[in-house]
Amino acid sequence: MKILPVEKIREADVYTIAHEPIADIDLMERAAMACFNWVSERIASTQTVHVFAGTGNNGGDGLALARMLLLKHFMVHVYLIGKEKNSSLSCRINLNRYKEIGGHYLWLKEDEKLLPVIRDEDVVVDSIFGSGLTRAPEGFSAAVIRHINTGKALTFSIDVPSGLSCDTSSIRGGKPDIVSADYTLTFSPPKLALFLPENYSFTGNWQLLDIGISDEFISKTEVKNFMLEESMLGPLLKKRRKFDHKGVYGHALLLCGGYGKMGAAILASKAALRSGAGLVTVHSPSSGVPILQSAVPEVMMSVDKDSSFISEIPELSKFSAIGTGCGTGLGEQTRSALKLLIQNSPLPLIFDADAINILSENKTWLGFLPKACIFTPHAGEFQRLIGKPYDDFDRLRMQQDFSFRFQAYVVSKGAHTTITTPEGLCYFNSSGNPGMATAGSGDVLTGMITGLRAQGYTPLEACLLGVWLHGKAGDLAADQMGQEALIAGDIIMNIGKAFQSLYGKL
């Protein structure tokens, strides 16, 4: 799914109104109904709903929602912010419709002492500004936002939390006045700001509501940002044929593990196998051989001469994908082995964990990498490798610049794991959950991507499939045992079911 900047979303609205065709007021009604259906199932009719509405179309959405709630016997109070003469036509129409059914409303005067009391058990609907805001809130509107945020009432923001910028950072330069919503009910297509960690305290959990914006317009609009969806990944899968054998599905090499960290090699190799690789070889220190052979009898071993660390590389010509860094440590002999790997690999490499940390201390090596390498850093590794960003928008820019400069794919791990490509494209993952923030989860992802690359998936396909399947497997595991109890091995055990979901068999 495409992620559109705000100006393109406005164009999409105009195009939909002209070509569906549908009147602006009716498109607003459709949006309000989508919000009503979602909100009304999650609040009780005994709760008082406070709707704070601006004078633009976001305010019109809130007024239409207020009318729908009132007609279903919810207790509703509407508070209008701004000058009545500045109201949009659709906002005025929806205010009149709300008034016609006896709805309670009040134009708020610019006096903070007169702001309504909001109890903790009440509900707040924020429809003050939405995505149409072009500057930070100030004056009385900022005071209203601060008032909303002082309480503990369940808060819903329509489209985006009022005060939040969709395409630039809202936090750079100080503490902003932005509604801190528990839920953001946003309209498809999604906005970039919703995917970035710095905005979570404002957006809460966001829900994407389809209100029928023109697919034709969206399909013709060129963008660089996308949200990964199950529907776009199924067609990428390579179907298996009756007479295929293990040689058809590639041979993955993982240079992983070290003294006290053989678990990383176990997790990565199991994940590579579960992702479909025909053969998996692990190169590890000699002391790790009995551990790995007992834990994963399906893998083959390449034994390093050192008993505790990786100090050399095997002959590489027989492998179809190579991943490294999981649990290897940062020892001098391991650094030398990584340098040899870079100099001798006939293939693009997958770098994780300690391999990224070694490269971070030897950045001149980056210039010798083959094109289409894959990096899978978490936040700390990202900062060491690429640099410290000012904010999450800056982090995204830095990630895209790194991908372009080194013609590499970067998988920046997080709640919406972000994949950037050498062409400047960016994909945000939609699967996964906080239970996956556990030791070894990254090793599993590295194994999955390496296993997919071994089968002949392109670097981009391996990243997209690996990231989404990893998150989906984590979701399935969390459904079974809860997020707190989830461990990396549970993700591996659900990789098969994640594949099945893409085949439509779950």
Helices (H), 41-81: 57-71
**Does the structure show a pLDDT above 90 at 498?**
yes
* Three-state DSSP state, 444: helix
What is the pLDDT confidence band of residue 142, given thresholds at 50, 70 and 90? Answer: very high
Domain stop point among 187, 222, 257:
222
Distance from C-alpha of 10 to C-alpha of 197, rounded to nearest angstrom = 25
Cα(195)–Cα(432) distance, integer angstroms = 13
Higher pLDDT, residue 299 or 136: 299
Looking at the structure, tell me whether residues 268 and 400 fall in a common domain. Answer: yes
Residues 352 and 206 in one domain: no
pLDDT in tens, 417-445: 999 999 999 999 999 999 999 999 999 99
Kindly give the pairing relationship between strand 104-107 and strand 374-375. Answer: unpaired
Average confidence score pLDDT of the chain: 97
The Cα 83–Cα 92 span in angstroms is 12
**Does residue 249 share a domain with residue 180?**
no
What is the rounded average pLDDT of the residues 362-369? 97
135 and 250 fall within a common domain: no
| Domain housing 142 | 6-222
What is the per-residue pLDDT across 180-220, written as a single tens digit (0 to 9) for each? 999 999 999 999 999 999 999 999 999 999 999 999 999 99
In the predicted structure, residue 357 carries a pLDDT above the cut 80:
yes
Question: Would the pLDDT of 132 be above 80?
Answer: no
CATH code of the domain containing 36: 3.40.50.10260
The answer as to whether 181 is a domain residue is: yes
For residue 133, pLDDT over 90 is answered with no
Shared-domain flag, residues 263 and 194: no
Alpha carbons 344 and 338: distance in angstroms, whole number: 10
Instruction: Summarize pLDDT for 40-62 with one digit per residue, the tens.
Output: 999 999 999 999 999 999 999 99
pTM of the predicted model as reported, rounded to 2 decimal places: 0.96
Total structural domains in the chain? 2
State the Cα–Cα distance between residues 385 and 329, nearest whole angstrom.
Answer: 16
Instruction: Please give the DSSP secondary-structure letter assigned to residue 438.
Output: S
**Do 209 and 342 lie in a common domain?**
no
pLDDT of residue 174: 80
